[in-house]
């Protein structure tokens, strides 16, 4: 299932997020749960949860029925450290 999830993210999800200045990183796939990290404009967007559920999760579930849920990994510490270095 990992290969299928990677393919859908690369071919169908990433290009559309990139059009809005965002990106997505696949963290893991385990027992039907897909963990992702939203980056760029998506990371700080107030609509990121909406995007995650109604676009990312919906697309993956449509293409790969074994996907049960999509969860965003919180990288707020990493973002803080990145901003601190600037």
Rounded distance between C-alpha atoms, residue 42 and residue 85, angstroms: 21
Q: Beta strands 69-72 and 33-40: pairing type?
A: parallel
Q: What is the pLDDT of residues 26-55, one digit of tens each?
A: 999 999 999 999 998 888 788 888 999 999
User: For domain 2-85, is the CATH number 3.40.50.2300?
Assistant: no
What pLDDT shows up at residue 74? Answer: 74
Residue 5 CA: distances (Å) to CA of 10, 69, 82: 9, 12, 28
Exposure on the CB side of residue 16, measured as CA atoms within 13 A: 10
So where are the chain's domains? Answer: 2-85
Q: What is the pLDDT of residues 9-24, one digit of tens each?
A: 999 999 999 998 999 9
Query: Is 75 or 59 the better-scoring residue by pLDDT?
Result: 59
């Amino acid at each position: 299932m990992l290969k299928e999830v990677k393919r859908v993210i690369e071919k169908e999800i990433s290009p559309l997020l990139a059009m809005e200045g965002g990106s997505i990183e696949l963290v893991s796939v385990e027992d039907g749960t897909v963990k992702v990290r939203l980056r760029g404009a998506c990371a700080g967007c107030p609509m990121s949860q909406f995007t995650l559920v109604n676009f990312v999760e919906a697309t993956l579930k449509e293409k790969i029925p074994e996907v049960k849920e999509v969860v965003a990994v919180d990288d707020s510490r990493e973002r803080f450290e990145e901003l601190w270095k600037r």
